[in-house]
């Protein structure tokens, strides 16, 4: 049974300087055709599973008009939902309004992920994003209890002070979940040629974040949640479990195949999904299990691993080497990366894969 589903809405009113996601400028004509194709895709591939999580991401899903959103939710009504469903939509500050919040709520959304990225004007300018109106967040809080705020740090000219201020602000908003990422300079973006921040400062910032957010459960490298508010949807990814992905350029993982849809809107609206597929063998799945599982601070559940792959992870010599070097550690039937190496985990992963 597949229990998670990701829906991609690629439209944006403005393109942020750092973004390398699959996105296009907001365009009414395209949106209707897009939603038609999305409906067709779901009809074609969705097998009626009862879902525990649905996540509408983007792009900027909140940029859609009320009518367009209604259409979207109509389509998503086809997805069967468990009683404990976590249903998230990503939302930009400027799109927050009573009407939209009401609409989200009445359609079953119970988790809002707000793209703040920073409260600092210089940072926002660099990212080419609008200023933050705190009132909008407070408004959202009236409708939703489970709110995530997305932040980005380690911008080229950022200082520890700027980050500290951002952390002050986000803490004062008292939300249940914070995702906070170190900026990745991606090749196909406006900022591709900038020099990334010095890695020592980046690390200092990471330590500062861990320290300032210690009342939260730091459950994944870049994710912090109040107890019980960890993102079930994202844990699907990190637990290496299968999920549906519908929409332009999305990835999904179904029946041992990791697939990625076409990134061409023209193909997509013609119901031409051109899926790129990676068929996983057992050893590929094991690799993914490590790459994803070690992102969680709690690590990989040894019993689950054994049931899944019919072998003991502790029989792996490479794992044992890292255990002996005190880079990995075993705690409560889980194996995880030692705190000192969390931010260096690629160096460990490349020894394991």
Partner 1 sequence: MNQDKIRNFAIIAHIDHGKSTLADRMLELSGNVSKREMTDQILDNMELEKERGITIKMNAVRLNYKGYEFNLIDTPGHVDFSYEVSRSLAACEGAILLVDATQGIEAQTLANYYLALENDLEIIPVINKIDLPNSDVDKVSNELINTFGFKKEEIILTSGKTGEGVDKLLDAVIDRVPSPKGDKNAKLKALIFDSVFDSYKGVIVHVRIVDGTLNKKDIIRFMSNNSSYDVTEIGYTTPKIVNVDSLSAGDVGYLCASIKNISDIKIGDTITLDKDPCNEPLKGYSEVKPMVYSGIFPVETREYDLLKDALEKLAINDASLTFTPETSKALGFGFRCGFLGLLHMDIIKERLQREFNLNIILTAPSVIYNVYLTNGEMVSISNPSDMPPMEKLSYIEEPYIKTNIFTPSEYIGPIMELCENKRGTFINMEYINETRVNIHYELPLSEIIYDFFDKLKSATRGYASFDYELIGYRQNKLVKMDILLNGEKVDALSMIVHKDFAYNIGKNMVNKLREIIPRQLFEVPVQAFINNKAIARETIKSMRKNVLAKCYGGDITRKKKLLEKQKEGKKKMKMIGSVEVPPEAFLEILNIKGD
Report the interface residues with partner 1, using CB under 8 A. 6, 8, 21-22, 181-184, 199-200, 202-203, 206, 221-222, 234, 237-238, 243, 245, 249-253, 258, 260, 278, 287-288, 291-292, 295, 341-347, 349-350, 353
Q: Which three-class secondary structure state does DSSP give residue 78?
A: coil
Q: Which CB, 10 or 26, lies closer to partner 1? A: 10
Distance in Å, CB of 150 to partner 1, minimum: 10
Tally Cβ neighbours within 10 Å of residue 311. Answer: 12
Please state the separation of Cα 29 from the chain's center in Å: 28
The phi, psi pair for 87, rounded to 5°, reads: -125, 105
Q: How far apart are CA 147 and CA 114, in angstroms?
A: 7
Q: Please, what is the minimum distance in Å from the beta carbon of residue 246 to partner 1? A: 11
DSSP conformational letter for 115: E
**Taking the alpha carbons of 341, 346, 347, 352 in that order, is the dihedral positive or negative?**
positive
Minimum CB separation of residue 87 from partner 1 in Å reads: 16
- Supply the Cα-derived Rg of the chain in whole angstroms: 20
- Nearest CB to partner 1, comparing residues 162 and 221: 221
Q: Which of residues 143 and 343 has its CB atom nearest to partner 1 in the complex?
A: 343
Q: Return the number of the residue (71 or 295) whose C-beta is nearest partner 1.
A: 295
What's the closest the beta carbon of residue 260 comes to partner 1, in angstroms? 7
Closer to partner 1 by CB, 62 or 182: give it: 182
Smallest distance, Å, CB 28 to partner 1?
A: 25
- Pick between residue 136 and residue 295 the one whose CB is nearest to partner 1: 295
Q: How far is the CB of 174 from partner 1 (least distance, A)?
A: 24
Residue 336 Cα distances to 133, 219, 285, 329, 341, angstroms: 39, 11, 18, 6, 10
Shortest distance in whole angstroms from residue 92 CB to partner 1: 18
Q: Which two tokens stand for residue 126?
A: 């660099």
Measured from the CB atom, the residue of 101 and 149 that comes closer to partner 1 is 149
CB of 279 to partner 1, least distance (A): 12
Reported as half-sphere exposure (CB side, CA atoms, 13 A), residue 269 has a value of 11
Pairs from 339-346 (Cβ < 8 Å, separation ≥ 24)? 342/221, 342/297, 343/203, 343/206, 343/221, 345/221, 345/294, 345/295
Residue 63: which of 143, 105, 17, 9 has the closest Cα?
9
Minimum CB distance to partner 1, residue 62 (Å): 18
As a whole number of angstroms, the distance between CA 46 and CA 42 comes to 5
Looking at the Cβ atoms of 101 and 337, the one nearer to partner 1 is 337
Hey, CA dihedral for 1, 86, 152, 201, is it positive or negative?
Answer: negative
Q: Count H helices, E strands: the chain?
A: 13, 17
CB-wise, 104 or 206, nearer to partner 1? 206
Rounded-to-integer distance, Cα 279 and Cα 259, Å: 8
């Amino acid at each position: 049974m597949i229990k998670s589903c990701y829906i991609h809405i690629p439209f944006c009113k403005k393109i942020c300087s750092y973004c390398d996601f699959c996105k296009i400028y907001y365009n009414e004509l395209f949106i209707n055709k897009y939603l038609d194709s999305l409906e067709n895709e779901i009809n074609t591939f969705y097998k009626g599973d009862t879902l525990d999580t649905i996540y509408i991401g983007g792009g900027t899903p909140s940029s859609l008009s009320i009518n367009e959103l209604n259409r979207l939710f109509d389509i998503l009504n086809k997805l069967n939902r468990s009683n404990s469903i976590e249903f998230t939509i990503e939302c930009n500050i400027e799109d927050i309004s009573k009407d939209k919040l009401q609409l989200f709520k009445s359609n079953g959304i119970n988790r809002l992920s707000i793209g703040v990225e920073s409260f600092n004007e210089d940072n926002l300018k660099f990212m080419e994003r609008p200023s933050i109106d705190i009132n909008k967040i407070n408004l959202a809080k009236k409708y939703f209890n489970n709110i995530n705020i997305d932040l980005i740090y380690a911008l080229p000219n950022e200082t520890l002070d700027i980050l500290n201020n951002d952390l002050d602000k986000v803490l004062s908003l008292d939300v249940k979940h914070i995702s906070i990422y170190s900026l990745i300079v991606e090749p196909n973006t406006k900022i591709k040629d900038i020099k990334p921040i010095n890695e020592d400062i980046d690390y200092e910032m990471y330590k500062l974040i861990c320290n300032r957010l210690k009342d939260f459960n730091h459950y994944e490298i870049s994710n912090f949640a109040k107890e019980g508010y960890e993102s079930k949807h994202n844990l699907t990814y990190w637990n290496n479990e299968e999920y549906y992905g519908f929409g332009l350029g999305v990835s999904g993982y179904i029946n041992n195949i990791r697939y990625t849809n076409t990134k061409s809107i023209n193909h997509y609206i013609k119901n031409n999904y051109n899926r790129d597929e990676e068929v996983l063998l057992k050893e590929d799945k094991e690799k993914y299990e490590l790459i994803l599982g070690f992102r969680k601070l709690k690590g990989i559940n040894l019993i689950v691993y054994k049931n899944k792959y019919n072998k003991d992870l502790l029989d792996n010599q490479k794992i044992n080497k890292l255990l002996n070097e005190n880079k990995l550690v075993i705690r409560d039937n889980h194996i995880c990366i030692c705190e000192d190496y969390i931010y260096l985990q690629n160096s460990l992963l490349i020894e394991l894969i």
